[in-house]
Structure 1
Amino acid sequence: MSLSPASSLLPREAELRQVMAVIDASPAKIALLVDADGRLVGTMTDGDIRRALLSGADLAAPAEKHMFRDFQVARDDDEPSHIMARLRARSLRQMPVVDAAGRVVRIETLVEALATPKPNWVFLLAGGAGVRLRPLTESVPKPMLPVAGKPVLETILERFVEAGFRRFCIAVHYLAEQVKAHFGDGSDWGVEIVYVEEPHPLGTAGALSLMPAVPDTPLLVMNGDVLTGANFSQLLDYHEAHGAAATLCLRQYDIQVPYGTVEVDGPWATGIVEKPLHKVFVNAGIYVLGPEALALVPRERRYDMTDLLAELISREQPVATYPLHETWLDIGRLEDFRKADQVVETLPP
């Protein structure tokens, strides 16, 4: 499919936050950075943004420092069939087409790669008792709390359906029948839903051992109380591109120290910083697990995702990290639940 480059073009001086907005809004899901004469000098996709964030870059940083310079292009006199063949051969989703001067005239995209339903299973954790949300959860399981007129878990499910996922396994325990009665077999959403019921709380990874069979494709796992604008197809692509046994989604969290801090060396002060801001990455409750990771989950005993990730790292299995720059909210506390209606309004269609 041919797309206009207009919504993807940015000057090379653009900031990362501008690039991020263009990628999100562009049908081609790519930012094309050009010089003052309109010639293509670099490209950026979602993966490039996340690599920049992992390297410590701020969203105000210049994109030119992080853009991809060794990009693939086609010429405007190339046969369309040849361009499609190159896309397939290199497993690319899009390719800029340039004129003799190097200016982008259109973008060719591999439509079938964007539209094909995913064979991967999605595992949703919906068994928690939601103790911190009482009294709201005394008669309703936390994933079934209404946000913007529908249960939180329904919004999560629909986000995956929009991304092309059709096979779901939902882990239930507390007030399990409410979840099962609402979602049934998934036919109302055009998907397949099966359930595993925890005999007792098994932690954030233990319920994975209850799946009837270990999937032979990467499994997406998500807490049933998280709202996010993350693109799950891009997450899966990122996991596969890195050849990871597991991929862990991260969210940057800022910690403001309310006091001036003092750096010391023995009895001597070596520096003073007034109310420093520390930036750390926290677990976002969204994962991709390969079959080799799932094989390590012990049968029917409490086991947390942190245990599984630590085991993989100890075995020198590759664990990738995927920083989220999209909307994200963990509805774990009453104050978070009160924000949820507004957060849903910010999620992309």
Structure 2
Amino acid sequence: MHDVEAVVLVGGKGTRLRPLTLSAPKPMLPTAGVPFLAHLLSRIREAGVRRAVLGTSYLAETFSDHFGDGTALGLEIEYVVEDQPLGTGGGIRNVAKYLSTDHVLVFNGDVLCGTDLNAVVDTHRSTDADVTLHLVRVQDPRAYGCVPTDADGQVLEFLEKTEDPPTDQINAGCYVFRRSVIESIPDGRPVSVERETFPGLLAAGARVSGHVDNAYWRDMGTPADLIHGSADLVRGVAPSAALPGPTGEALQLDGAQVADGALVFGGTTVGRGVTIGEGARVEGSMLFDGAVVGAGAVVEHAVIGAGARVDEGALVTDTVVGDRAVVGAHCELRGGLRIWPDVVLPPHGVRFSPDV
């Protein structure tokens, strides 16, 4: 696909993932050992795309500092910074002058997806579409807006969330645009592709195609989704060419020390310099660089931030522990809690409220 370029929208603040996104944008959070965006870029490169334009805003310099010109990934990467939030459509329009191909793959930078990108482009070309949407079938579409298509794969309408959806097809956040359509989006103001651009194209009689499949798909917008998506990458359920080690029950990075009697499984990522003590049990979790899990502690489906400490005998489940925070010995944290960076919780403290 040398004649197709990619645009990745990575300008969001990731407020639903705080406190993790206080110091890094959502696409740069460590996920299965590398920034989440590295997984998407690896799949773009695998599909044969050679050039990607990143639409950035929040903490924009973190992207260029890490990925540089893209050479290490086999890509040419260009960075375009939004001075003000422009929405999905405005963000795409903002990069238009940096594009040179007639057809452009566009991605929401917070979606983990296993679809065949070449197949999406093939659908776009074979139907002579102005825009093609990747649509994924989900078990419960009530939580999403639905996108019905006709027998020829043409999109019929864009529906808001409803308790009685007419289809199980939802917008998966991956598109193919004709560049002329991108250039027709209003410039310099916020625009939503979902609410303005796509419905406007349908009303104007444009061809909007849907490429429908059952590929792996997860919106990485919440801590629970981030944790589960990372575990799926480590276990090989979600595809990536950027994993820094083999898939399996756990991914252990350089300098990590896991005591012989510890149990680490379920797609856990053990970051660089992490220490896990004797008898500890860590399941399906993300331990960022330098974290410590004490002897006999239990960590389940949680994020333990960089340099944070879970002391001996503590229980941490379905919780985000911020960087450098301390969970005291025999403390119990469960049920969607978020512990801010540098907070110290005393031994034997018990917390059940998410308002910590």
TM-score (norm 2): 0.57
Code of the aligned partner of 1:222? F
Q: 1:214 deviation in Å?
A: 4.7
After superposition, the C-alpha distances for 1:224-253 in whole angstroms (9 at most, x for unaligned) are: 111111111111111101100001111223
After superposition, the C-alpha distances for 1:295-336 in whole angstroms (9 at most, x for unaligned) are: 221112101111111111111000001113111111011111
- Identify the match of residue 180 of structure 1 among 64, 68, 72: 64
SS in 1 for 2:125: helix
Q: 1:277 deviation in Å?
A: 9.7
8 Å CA contact retained: 1:225, 1:331: yes
2:96 corresponds to 1:208: no
SS in 2 for 1:140: coil
8 Å CA contact retained: 1:226, 1:331: yes
In 1, the alpha carbon distance for the partners of 2:165 and 2:192 equals 30
Size of the aligned set, in residue pairs, is: 216
Aligned-residue sequence identity (percent) comes to 35
8 Å CA contact retained: 1:144, 1:151: yes
TM-score (norm 1): 0.59
Structure 1, unpaired ranges of 5+: 1-116, 258-274
Q: Pairwise CA RMSD of aligned residues?
A: 2.1
In 2, the alpha carbon distance for the partners of 1:144 and 1:213 equals 23
2:175 corresponds to 1:297: no
2:196 corresponds to 1:196: no
After superposition, the C-alpha distances for 1:261-317 in whole angstroms (9 at most, x for unaligned) are: xxxxxxxxxxxxxx9997522211111101231122111210111111111111100
SS in 2 for 1:254: coil
8 Å CA contact retained: 1:256, 1:278: no
Distance 1:304 1:256, change over 3 A: closer
- Identify the match of residue 238 of structure 1 among 114, 123, 129: 123
SS in 1 for 2:22: coil
Code of the aligned partner of 1:316? G
SS in 1 for 2:55: strand
Q: Which has the larger radius of gyration?
A: 1
8 Å CA contact retained: 1:254, 1:279: no
Aligned to 1:165: 49
Distance 1:277 1:190, change over 3 A: closer
8 Å CA contact retained: 2:229, 2:238: no
In 2, the alpha carbon distance for the partners of 1:254 and 1:246 equals 25
8 Å CA contact retained: 2:136, 2:215: no
- Identify the match of residue 206 of structure 2 among 299, 305, 317: 317
Code of the aligned partner of 1:285? G
Higher relative contact order (CA 8 A, sep 6+): 1
Aligned to 1:135: 19
Structure 2, unpaired ranges of 5+: 143-162, 242-356
2:110 corresponds to 1:222: no
8 Å CA contact retained: 2:5, 2:99: no
8 Å CA contact retained: 1:244, 1:320: yes
Aligned to 2:172: 284
Distance 1:336 1:238, change over 3 A: same
Aligned to 1:326: 215
Code of the aligned partner of 1:179? F
SS in 1 for 2:50: strand
Q: 1:213 deviation in Å?
A: 4.3
8 Å CA contact retained: 1:255, 1:277: no
Code of the aligned partner of 2:218? L
Code of the aligned partner of 2:225? D
SS in 2 for 1:346: coil
Distance 1:203 1:256, change over 3 A: closer
